[in-house]
Amino acid sequence: MKKLFTKTTAVMSSAVIAVCSGIGYFSSYAEDKEEKSVKVIFDFGTEDFEYDEEDVDISQFETYTTNLNYVQIPAGRFTRNGYGFDGWTYDGVYGYYGTDIITIPSDVDEFVIKAVWYDLYSENKCNIIYNLEYKGEQCERPTWLKNTTAAAGMIFEPNYRSLDIGTAYTNGYTDGVHNFTSGQKIILPDHDLVLTPIWHSRIQLTFTTGDVDRVNGNKSVTFEKISNSSTELPTADRFSRSGFNLVGWLSDYDGQIYKVGATVTTPDTDATYTAVWEPKSYNVVFSTGEGGKSLKVTGLTDTAIICPDPEHTVSGKYFAGWKDSTGKIYPVGSEYIIPGALPGSGISLKGVWETGEPPVTEPPVSATTTTATTSATPSESTTTTPATTESTTGEKINFGDVNTDGEITVADATLLLQHLGNADKYKLSEQGQKNADCYNTGDGLSARDALAIQKYDSKVITSLPESE
């Protein structure tokens, strides 16, 4: 037997390098700490102990510096008069044996690992009590899980065998302050230690389209998950709805809206996530026919656009309107509500030409009500000059010029509708907001203002502002 010499500070010896040379094995556990080095100190707490030099390479316990974020405890047993040696700790809570790995906290410059000694003759005992409580009720104790007693100061590893009660299972214990999971060991205190299982409930997460129309395929799906665990919410292709994109999930557990594909912590109870839909943007194609060019008007699902003029004439024929896929014909200047289309499909209307002279009809009248909330923009439109009006305060207002570029086009309607749908993303200038209030001025901005701009651009009306 040999008594340990006084500790000295030294660089890591070749023996330590040999111990840690298996870094590839721990690559998933540790990473280089290139930004700084940490001094690792093994503190025996006393020099009054012995070891077998044939079994212990004491140089492995010399102080050294590392840039890794972990320490692997060297193997070695030691003896001391009246005390038992049981391993190592750095915080007095968690214990480690030789060859165990300790993660170095990121905020330390020195990492002191202390030897764990316990008094062989002390009467201080620790009663380890397993409190099998789940949601306020005691569970039936299995025969293999027994309370036990050990000397205070020793290192103790709980029985981590999982308990499964069907609706939940255990994964470790808590003493009310610290959590202990499989493989972790505890420095026993000098009082009773009550260990309560950490329960993970089996819960149901349901994802639903919500009470909406035009859903293609399933309207809901349910998965079994474990409470308080990480999970990824479904991606945007989980459900299909004609005319809409799936952009988020509304949780009935916390009322929050999460992005599709987001990683969340599962709640401790069943929860439902309802799809958040955003209307798609379409280039509605108006195929003029009879040698005319096709026109495009941009808009979002369930919003109104104005059917354009074909911009050309055909000898001996008159233009009767635009026919959609259902056979309905829309006159020039009338409103067309974009219905949305199946994924991968577009929306088009075909020009209808009739022989002879057009019948005498009243000018088309726009619908008096609409709930449009998003944009409509033709690819080509007639540029018009804003109607500049002086308010009662002497302020100049260019009604309809939402983007304040000096012109009125359905680009202004587009910007206004986008602003109504998402004011944070599509902001209007102070002047733009004043210019946008061009329908029943003074009642605030609405889709009717955007529709008035479209009607003005299509020459359905000849001036702005419009009023009922």
Q: Of 224, 254, 278, which closes a domain?
A: 278
Q: Are strands 193-208 and 125-130 parallel, antiparallel or unpaired?
A: parallel
208, 303, 337, 345 from 215: Cα distances, Å: 11, 19, 19, 15
The answer for residues whose C-beta is within 8 angstroms of residue 345's C-beta and 6 or more apart is none
SS3 265: strand
Q: Are residues 247 and 393 in the same domain?
A: no
The answer to the question of residue 444 being in a domain is: yes
Nearest to 451 by CA among 427, 405, 420: 420
First vs last C-alpha separation in the chain:
105
The reported pTM is 0.54
In a domain? residue 463: no
247 and 236 in one domain? Answer: yes
Asked whether residue 331 is domain-assigned, the answer is: yes
- Number of residues that make up the chain: 468
The encoded tokens of residue 213 equal 């129309």
Query: CA triplet 298, 302, 306: central angle to 5 degrees?
Result: 50
Residues 437 and 320 in one domain: yes
> Is the Cα torsion angle 20, 22, 27, 29 positive or negative in sign?
negative
The per-residue DSSP string of 408-447 comes to B-HHHHHHHHHHHH-TTTS---HHHHHHH--BSTTS---H
Residue 257 domain flag: yes
> Looking at the 3D structure of the chain, how many domains does it have?
4
Regarding whether 229 and 176 lie in a shared domain, the answer is: no
Pair (338, 443) in one structural domain: yes
**What are the pLDDT tens digits along the chain (468 aa)?**
433 333 332 333 333 333 333 333 333 344 444 567 999 999 999 999 999 999 999 999 999 999 999 999 999 999 999 999 999 999 999 999 999 999 999 999 999 999 999 999 999 999 999 999 998 899 999 999 999 999 999 999 999 999 999 889 999 999 999 999 999 999 999 999 999 999 999 999 999 999 999 999 999 999 999 998 899 999 999 999 999 999 999 999 999 999 999 999 999 899 999 999 999 999 999 999 999 999 999 999 999 999 999 988 999 999 999 999 999 999 999 999 999 888 888 999 999 999 988 876 555 444 333 333 333 333 343 444 455 565 555 578 999 999 998 999 878 887 887 787 678 778 899 999 999 999 999 888 887 888 888 888 877 788 999 987
Radius of gyration of the chain from its Cα atoms, rounded to whole angstroms: 38
**Of 202, 223, 257, which residue sits at a domain end?**
202
- HSE of 120 in the Cβ direction (CA atoms, 13 Å)? 8
Burial of 121 by CB count in 10 Å (0-12 exposed, 13-18 middle, 19+ buried)?
Answer: exposed
Whether 110 and 47 share a structural domain: yes
The residue type at 367? A
Residues 269 and 294 in one domain: no
Which one of 170, 202, 234 terminates a domain? 202
Rounded distance between C-alpha atoms, residue 21 and residue 33, angstroms = 17
Buried b (16+ CB within 10 A) or exposed e, 353-374: beeeeeeeeeebebeeebebbb
Q: Are strands 148-151 and 125-130 parallel, antiparallel or unpaired?
A: antiparallel
Asked whether residue 263 is domain-assigned, the answer is yes
Q: Is residue 329 located within the same domain as residue 400?
A: yes
Cβ-based neighbours of 291, under 8 Å, separated by 6 or more:
312, 314
Domain that holds residue 313: 281-457
CATH number at residue 426: 2.60.40.4270
Backbone angles phi, psi at 16, to 5 degrees: -65, -40
Residue 468 lies in a domain: no
